[in-house]
Amino acid sequence: MILSSQYRGHKQIHIRRQGKLELVKAIQELEKRGFECVIPVREVKEFGKNFKDKAKFYQGKWLIGRTNAVDSYEQVYYETIMKKV
Tell me the β-bridge partners of 81: 14
State the pLDDT confidence band at 64, using cuts at 50, 70 and 90: confident
DSSP assignment string, 10-36: -SEEEEEESSHHHHHHHHHHHHHTTEE
State the pLDDT confidence band at 67, using cuts at 50, 70 and 90: low
pLDDT single digits (tens) 9-62: 567 899 999 999 999 999 999 999 999 999 999 999 999 887 776 777 777 777
Contact 77, 16 (CB under 8 A): yes
3-state class (DSSP) for residue 41: coil
The sign one gets for the Cα dihedral 50, 56, 58, 62 is: positive
